[in-house]
Each structure stands twice: as structure tokens, then as C-alpha cells.
Amino acid sequence: MKKILIMITAAFLLAMPMEVKAQDIQQQRTTIEQEVAPITISVNESTIHIKNAEKMVIEIYNMTGVKVVTQRIDSSDKMIELDNLPKGCYIIKIGKVARKVYLR
């Protein structure tokens, strides 16, 4: 009796369309990736260009670890002028994204 039950259960499991489940998972992954665009940070001279970070906070630290700028990002395509900072290396942090940049 146990052998018959195990064989029926195994046959049922093997007959299930596993491709559909894999497609569902792939579709969910694609949907999540489309919803969350990566944050991009680029620097030109003393201007920082930030994309896809609306409603987040940018924090800029000098190389000694002192926070020198904190600013809320109010649009998905933001330009921040940092003419008041001395030229040199800084760490930019937005959410979980951190980048080392050089301001000229």
C-alpha cells in the first residue's frame, strides 16, 4: 500500500508543469527589476548628477569621515553644485549606494 501511494505521489509530482512555475518566478523577477531602477551618480568638475533617487537623502563625507553635506533629493534627475567644497576625494552615499568621487 505504501509503495503504491509513493508511486502515485511521485507520478503526480512529475506530471506537474514545472516550466509554468519557473516562468512565474522569472516574470515576478522582471516586474521587480522594472520597478526599481538603479541609482546612478556621475560627477563633472564640482557638479554631481544623480538619477533615480527621488525622495532619498544624499550624504557626502570627506576622507576623514566627516559628513559635509546632507540634502534631500526632490526629483528623479537631480544636479547638485558643490562649488563650496574644496577639491578632493569624497564619499557619496544615497540609500545603500556609496561611491568614492573626486571633485575638481
Neighbours of 90 (CB within 10 A): 21
Report if pTM > 0.85. Answer: no
State the average pLDDT for the chain: 82
28-75 pLDDT, tens digit each: 665 555 567 899 999 999 999 999 999 999 999 999 999 999 999 999
CA 85 to the chain's CA centroid: 27
Q: What DSSP assignment string belongs to the chain?
A: -HHHHHHHHHHHHHHS-HHHHHHHHHHHHHHHHHHSPPPEEEEETTEEEEES-TT-EEEEEETTS-EEEEEE--SSEEEEE-TTSPSEEEEEEETTEEEEEEE-
Percentage of residues in the chain with pLDDT exceeding 70?
66
